[in-house]
Every structure is written in structure tokens, then in C-alpha cells.
């Protein structure tokens, strides 16, 4: 089964279920996935990402090589 077929099959099962426990478990999987992604970063990495987003919002840009050099030192 390809990925699109799997997605469609899962969608059908979700739509057809009336079991709140199943839906809660599925919701939990996706919520944990979101939380795990961010929590995999160290506090310093999270702060750097937030600072980078703020800088991009202000149209401030930095040289790619300088950024890589800074983070490879660690």
C-alpha cells in the first residue's frame, strides 16, 4: 500500500468510528508528535530558533556559513 492509500484507509476508519477512546488515542498520537518535535531541541536551540524567526519577521538575514560555523563549534 502506498502512503496515499494508507492515509485514505485511515481517514475512512476515523470517519466511521463512533468509539471516543479510539479517537482520543489518535488525537494523542498527533499531539505527542507535535510536543516531541519541539522538546527534542535543547533550551538554547529553542531560543535560537525563536530568535531566528523573529529576525526573519524583521527581514534581518545572516550569512549561512557564519551560522553553520557557530553551531558546529558546540
Q: What is the pLDDT of residue 2?
A: 92
Q: What is the pLDDT of residue 21?
A: 94
Determine which helix (DSSP H) or strand (DSSP E) holds 10, and give its type and residue range. helix 3-16
* pLDDT one digit per residue (tens) for the chain, 74 residues: 799 999 999 999 999 999 999 999 999 888 877 666 777 889 999 999 999 888 888 887 777 888 888 888 76
Give the separation between CA 28 and CA 21, rounded to whole angstroms: 10
Q: What is the pLDDT of residue 66?
A: 84
pTM value is: 0.44
CA R_g for the chain: 20
Q: What is the pLDDT of residue 74?
A: 60
Amino acid at each position: 500500500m502506498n502512503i496515499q492509500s494508507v492515509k485514505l484507509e485511515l481517514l475512512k476508519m476515523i470517519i466511521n468510528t463512533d468509539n471516543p477512546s479510539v479517537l482520543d488515542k489518535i488525537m494523542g498520537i498527533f499531539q505527542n508528535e507535535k510536543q516531541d518535535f519541539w522538546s527534542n531541541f535543547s533550551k538554547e536551540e529553542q531560543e535560537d530558533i525563536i530568535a531566528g524567526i523573529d529576525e526573519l519577521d524583521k527581514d534581518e538575514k545572516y550569512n549561512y556559513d557564519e551560522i553553520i560555523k557557530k553551531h558546529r563549534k558546540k
